[in-house]
Structure 1
Amino acid sequence: MKKISLFCCLVLMTVVITNAKEKINIIPRPVSVTEKDGSLTLNSKTNVYVAGDKDLISTVQFFTKKIQSATGIDLKIKNVVPKTLPASSIVVQIAKTYDKTLQEEGYSLKVSPLKIEITANKPQGIFYGMQSLLQLMPADVESIELKSLSQVSVPCVDITDYPRFGWRGMMLDVSRHFFTKKEVKQYIDEMVKYKYNTLHLHLTDDNGWRVEIKSIPGLTQKGAWRVPRYGRWGKFESPQPDEKTTYGGFYTQDDIRELIHYAADRYVTVLPEVDIPAHSLAMISAFPGLSCTQLQYPVNPGSEFYKKEDNALCIGNDSVFLMLDKIFTELAQLFPHPYMHVGGDEAYKGFWEKCPKCQKRMADEHLKNVDELQSYFIKRMENMLLAKNKKLIGWDEILEGGLAPEATVMSWRGMKGGIEAAKMNHHVVMTPYDHCYIDLYQGEPTNEPATYSMCRLSDSYNWDPVPDGVDEKFILGGQANLWTESVPNFRHAQYMTWPRSLALAEVYWSPKNQKDWNNFVDRMETQLPRLDKSGTKYATSFYNAIVKPVKADNTESLAVTLSSELGGTEIYYTFDGTDPDNHSPKYKGEPIGFWKGADEIRVIVYKNNQPVGKQVNLKLDELKKRLK
């Protein structure tokens, strides 16, 4: 009997531990979580009491409407808190005394069997507390179809939480492919669940001008439209004579105001980017006199043009600055964000070197080279923006030739530019491509839609925005950047965004000392059903096998190593052309050579005795290319 009792106790302990593990799975991971026994049940009798700040009503309505639309439970909002609270009440309140620990965006969330309390210094803290509260609830609260639930259970817990960084951004490139106002709103709704607070809109590029400038209607009349093309970006056929420009679109200023208001209701600020002086073919197509060559170029549809067509503004031409002043005057009035993003990246300077106007500018301003010419341009843009009470931010190329005095650097070519700027006491937003570019491959390329380079889920999670030797006070935060050359529609935008942006959300919000890859993976996997319920497309590439070619036994013959991003997995393979399963040869950690006569390896990953992800099939010839 003692053995049986002991066995039962062990089973019971296992159940309790397992349930505890599955109980709190919030992303980003809160600063402090204390799990407690019991739960609270929300139902149609539950009231939400808003204490002391009527401005919170709209924030609370965001929460109650979401619950109602997903479950049918109608939570009533009351602006007076009774002395005796009914059971299962929710109390939302601004702290009477400012809590320095919580800062501007932090919150305290306490769930007991009788009530839920959310306290913060500011309304945005309340909003983030509600996002965490939603994640404590079953996945059905994310449903886009009404589930008609009679009640929702919430586990008891005490949470104290606040962000590590104030800039937690996502960039959406709407130039390469245009996304509708409705789709941008949906993107905002998806990002705020994980406490992002900045939406960076890449509004202009060689491939489309996406924002109305009332004083210069030609920018959208001509620059917002191009010929339609489908296939591999960069390989498209150039526009043909008299071919109709039917692909594109733009946001009117009323559209922008609507998006800004929609985002602000969710405590998101919208950062506009007009990418200059390069990446300007859409502008130049409408006004050819702005380039050094002054040739008529079409809006580029994704065909090869770099160094062949002049996509950079002529810095020696004063009319360029007159037009930019008009553009940024309207944008400064339109966007409340304190920054204006001017791009500044990837400028081919060859046309400047041959341009008489640019050469005259260099002589007049005593500029030694074209790098200093670009620096002159950026410094002049900074003065233009400061006159409009805006600060300049640009990609790390704005360091070339000398950084503008008050500029903020968005570091994308690794972290070197950000380190250099921070050591010059400039603010930095870290967005290194190998960790933050969510348009890159996220798993085995042969299993993914075509793009370029690699940024796995673990690459996004296992990095830190503050390099060694840099004062953290200069690092504002970071972004997940979605360039859309290879992202032609919104569903694929979602696929590329999630789950890597879950990892980056945690990088930007959670304490550095709490980083734990295996713990994150467990919590991330509980988010996938929530994404399913909300109709959000996402990638499962992190499950796929990683096949790496190596030389076998110091010879010229080829072998492979197999691995997985996740722990607790088993990998099986075949060389005989059949699909592997968990009865096939199991990978044991050492390089394996191709079987004699085999020209392909097929690999599958198992977790908890079930196949996960996609099977990877790789030909010997492809692996030989990768080895070279």
Structure 2
Amino acid sequence: MKRILSLLIITLLISSQVTWSQHQIIPAPVSYTGSEGSLIIDQNMGLVLLTENDDLSRQVEFLKSDLKEIGVNFSQVRGDSSTLKTLKIGLYEAKLDTLGHEGYQLVVEEGGILLMANTKAGTFNGIQTLKQLFPTKRITSDEGELLPVEIKACIIEDFPRFGWRGLMLDVSRHFFTVEEVKAYLDQMAAYKFNVFHWHLTDDEGWRIEIKTFPKLTEVGAWRVERHGRFGSERAQPKKSEKTTYGGFYTQEQIREVVAYAAERNITIVPEIDVPGHSMALLAAYPQYSVKKEFKQVNPGAKIADWYGDGTFKMTIENSLNPADPAVYAFLDMIFNEIAELFPGEYIHMGGDECYHGYWEEDAKVQDFMAKNGISNGAELQSYFVKRVEKIISSKGKKMIGWDEILEGGLADGAAVMNWRDVKSGIEAVGLGHKVVMTPNEFTYLDFTQGDYSVENKIYSDLSLEKAYSFEPVPDFVLDPELILGGQGNLWTEVIPNLPFAFYMTYPRAFALSESLWSNKDDKNWNDFLRRTESHFKRFDQKGINIAKTIYEPKVKVYKEGRKLMCKLNTPFSDIDMFYTIDNTYPVTFGKKYEGPFELPAGDYSLRVRSFRNGKAIERLLQIHRKDLESRVK
């Protein structure tokens, strides 16, 4: 079979006179070579499995289902006995070193398509690329007949840059059903993400059944209902209130999702966040805290004072007691069940944003620290982390945690997920730890992605262009081989449902997928924008609303002497921006933006909107003069 594909490649290369760079594939393949001619599909295609394999058969069924929706059908045939143009899929008997575990080779020519890989992971990735070569919908003639599908002849050889290409979904702040998680996994798989980091526990909810401790879900999975933004505007729960909001996954459902993910080349990394972020756990079992006081699952109310420099004080205890031996016995039984449910290599133990104040104020904890030569809260947390690492290792798993687990020293073999900055990832590599790069400034998908006048404003911003600039291997890193890859993180304080989760995840996840899969030196922002626009159509076809804020004008306000000036910008050369500052609305007879302009004093709003070919696209931005003043930097 290797000889068959090699002959096809040689034939196409000899006849090739054109290299097509105008493919629409995300993430961009390592090598795409176009050639003359096209595959024209005017009837059903024949489907030939060159390797008898149950996993390949399931992958093909997924493909047939997806393409049937756009009007392309397949008939199972054997060998070359059919007169139909064929799609042939198989596995190499002698593996190609260049493809590795997840790579593939794909050839499109006039007679059909050939997809080959070393493993089922490779064929799965190749199928995701193949689907992107097909149109979003088959076009019909004026008479209602389906017109042929045309795919340009090409050769693709492709493999990922990193083995860890992840997305994290927080299901604690807001609960997502099994079917919603599956839908999220489907979109991940389409863009070759292969790790799903499942944030299952936090202050706002415990979401996984632990049979040994049923109160974790009986109590910890439910909270009082509150509406609006998380924070001081949400009232604290009252003892008399019913806990009606929440949910959890049974162990049977967990196994179902794990199997569903595996069929889509996705490994699930579960997170049990300890010792901080444990209020839902402590609502069920308060004896594992220092104060052992009754508490309720946090409904999103304010529970900490933040001081603006990264430091904070918890006003309600939400941490486990690291000086209590019973805590470790408790966690041992929890992680035992977790390890049995998730076959992946890693278990995430959280370890972030743990407040030490209640430990440092408690006489028994201080006595424990003195007896064990522990000087401060950071060292005590390090003691806790090392104990948890031993527990997780005893289950045949490896531990990973947020970068705070580095503080005070970290056990050999533990991996680090750096979220605070790039520096912490470099530090972890320098100490010999494997690292998943996820610095918040590039990868936090809950950050505001558009103008504050139309988007939720939270504590930071992340534009599509900034996400695309993410480089998982920083300069000066000592051992790049220790960087496993990276991921995007979707915290859900302001994301109450799946449609909005998709809106916040995409298209920024496109950018991250390309940073984690494609060649670093081949990344091209303008070409990525072009391809992103084509994928908007794919999501529109599915009825999934994702962010199109890249079309919106970027508003910059600055001072020029005493004048307040405004500059508008768009990354698209074919988009015109029209604006008004007289409380009328910017349609094409309004003022076209030609360059920076003055914002005079007065009671008015800047209204600005993007137009393409005379038609408005995306939303109208409306920003009052006072708000414009506040934007001056």
> Same fold by TM (over 0.5)?
yes
Q: State which of 309, 318, 321 in structure 1 corresponds to 2:316.
A: 309
Corresponding residue pairs, total: 601
Tell me the CA shift for residue 40 of structure 1.
2.0
Q: State which of 534, 544, 547 in structure 2 corresponds to 1:539.
A: 547
Normalised TM-score (structure 1): 0.92
| Mapped partners of 1:340, 1:585: distance in 2 | 56
- Find out whether 1:623 has 2:625 as its counterpart: no
Q: Which residue of 1 aligns with 2:513?
A: 505
Letter in 1 for 2:324: N
Instruction: Return 5+ residue gaps in structure 2 as ranges.
Output: 1-16, 305-313
Tell me the CA shift for residue 93 of structure 1.
1.2
Write out aligned runs for 1:109-508 (5 A): 109-140=106-137, 152-234=149-231, 235-306=233-304, 307-470=314-477, 471-508=479-516
Contact persistence 1:71–1:148 (CA under 8 A): no
Q: Compared with structure 1, are the counterparts of its residues 567 and 369 closer, same or farther at alpha carbon in structure 2 (3 Å cutoff)?
A: farther
| Mapped partners of 2:602, 2:175: distance in 1 | 49
Contact persistence 1:44–1:150 (CA under 8 A): no
User: Which string of whole-angstrom CA distances, capped at 9 and with x for unpartnered residues, describes residues 359-382 of structure 1?
Assistant: 223222211211011111111111
User: Which string of whole-angstrom CA distances, capped at 9 and with x for unpartnered residues, describes residues 467-518 of structure 1?
Assistant: 0011321111111111000001111111111111111111111100111010
| Mapped partners of 1:174, 1:521: distance in 2 | 31
SS state at 1:446 partner: coil
| Mapped partners of 1:361, 1:613: distance in 2 | 60
Contact persistence 1:498–1:537 (CA under 8 A): no
Tell me the CA shift for residue 606 of structure 1.
3.0
Q: State which of 107, 110, 113 in structure 1 corresponds to 2:104.
A: 107
| Mapped partners of 2:138, 2:123: distance in 1 | 18
Tell me the CA shift for residue 563 of structure 1.
1.8
Tell me the CA shift for residue 73 of structure 1.
4.4
Letter in 2 for 1:116: I
Letter in 1 for 2:580: T
Q: Compared with structure 1, are the counterparts of its residues 149 and 274 closer, same or farther at alpha carbon in structure 2 (3 Å cutoff)?
A: farther
- Find out whether 1:604 has 2:609 as its counterpart: yes
Q: Which residue of 2 aligns with 1:575?
A: 581
| Mapped partners of 2:435, 2:146: distance in 1 | 46
Contact persistence 2:46–2:84 (CA under 8 A): no
SS state at 2:87 partner: strand
SS state at 1:573 partner: strand
Contact persistence 1:478–1:508 (CA under 8 A): yes
Contact persistence 1:568–1:607 (CA under 8 A): yes
Letter in 2 for 1:425: G
| Mapped partners of 1:155, 1:610: distance in 2 | 31
| Mapped partners of 1:18, 1:302: distance in 2 | 57
Tell me the CA shift for residue 43 of structure 1.
5.8
Tell me the CA shift for residue 569 of structure 1.
3.3
Q: Which residue of 1 aligns with 2:76?
A: 77
Write out aligned runs for 1:21-60 (5 A): 24-42=23-41, 45-55=44-54, 56-60=56-60
User: Which string of whole-angstrom CA distances, capped at 9 and with x for unpartnered residues, describes residues 588-615 of structure 1?
Assistant: 444x321243532222223444433222
Normalised TM-score (structure 2): 0.91
Q: Which residue of 2 aligns with 1:13?
A: none
Contact persistence 2:556–2:568 (CA under 8 A): yes
Contact persistence 1:134–1:141 (CA under 8 A): no
Q: Which residue of 1 aligns with 2:564?
A: 558
Contact persistence 2:21–2:32 (CA under 8 A): no
Q: Which residue of 2 aligns with 1:65?
A: 65
- Find out whether 1:93 has 2:90 as its counterpart: yes
SS state at 1:35 partner: strand
Tell me the CA shift for residue 260 of structure 1.
0.4
SS state at 1:274 partner: strand
Contact persistence 1:105–1:128 (CA under 8 A): yes
Q: Compared with structure 1, are the counterparts of its residues 429 and 437 closer, same or farther at alpha carbon in structure 2 (3 Å cutoff)?
A: same
Tell me the CA shift for residue 567 of structure 1.
4.5
Tell me the CA shift for residue 58 of structure 1.
1.6
Pick which of 57-66 and 332-341 moved more. 57-66
Give the percent of matched residue pairs that are identical in Structure 1 and Structure 2.
43
| Mapped partners of 2:19, 2:79: distance in 1 | 34
| Mapped partners of 1:262, 1:593: distance in 2 | 56
Pick which of 34-43 and 211-220 moved more. 34-43
| Mapped partners of 2:149, 2:179: distance in 1 | 30
Q: Compared with structure 1, are the counterparts of its residues 558 and 96 closer, same or farther at alpha carbon in structure 2 (3 Å cutoff)?
A: same
Tell me the CA shift for residue 559 of structure 1.
2.3
User: Which string of whole-angstrom CA distances, capped at 9 and with x for unpartnered residues, describes residues 555-577 of structure 1?
Assistant: 3x532222224444333322111
Pick which of 395-404 and 592-601 moved more. 592-601
Tell me the CA shift for residue 238 of structure 1.
1.0
Contact persistence 2:178–2:253 (CA under 8 A): yes
Tell me the CA shift for residue 620 of structure 1.
1.8
Letter in 1 for 2:75: K
| Mapped partners of 1:334, 1:166: distance in 2 | 22
| Mapped partners of 2:324, 2:582: distance in 1 | 66
Contact persistence 1:316–1:360 (CA under 8 A): no
| Mapped partners of 2:138, 2:198: distance in 1 | 29
| Mapped partners of 2:428, 2:261: distance in 1 | 30
Contact persistence 2:224–2:241 (CA under 8 A): yes
Q: Which residue of 2 aligns with 1:613?
A: 618
Instruction: Return 5+ residue gaps in structure 1 as ranges.
Output: 1-16
| Mapped partners of 2:278, 2:489: distance in 1 | 20
User: Which string of whole-angstrom CA distances, capped at 9 and with x for unpartnered residues, describes residues 92-135 of structure 1?
Assistant: 11123211111110111001010100010111111111111110
| Mapped partners of 1:107, 1:291: distance in 2 | 51
Tell me the CA shift for residue 150 of structure 1.
7.5
Q: Aligned Cα RMSD in Å?
A: 2.2
Letter in 2 for 1:479: Q
| Mapped partners of 2:153, 2:281: distance in 1 | 56
Q: Compared with structure 1, are the counterparts of its residues 149 and 19 closer, same or farther at alpha carbon in structure 2 (3 Å cutoff)?
A: farther
| Mapped partners of 1:148, 1:453: distance in 2 | 51
Q: Compared with structure 1, are the counterparts of its residues 525 and 398 closer, same or farther at alpha carbon in structure 2 (3 Å cutoff)?
A: same
SS state at 2:227 partner: coil
Tell me the CA shift for residue 552 of structure 1.
2.3
Tell me the CA shift for residue 418 of structure 1.
0.5
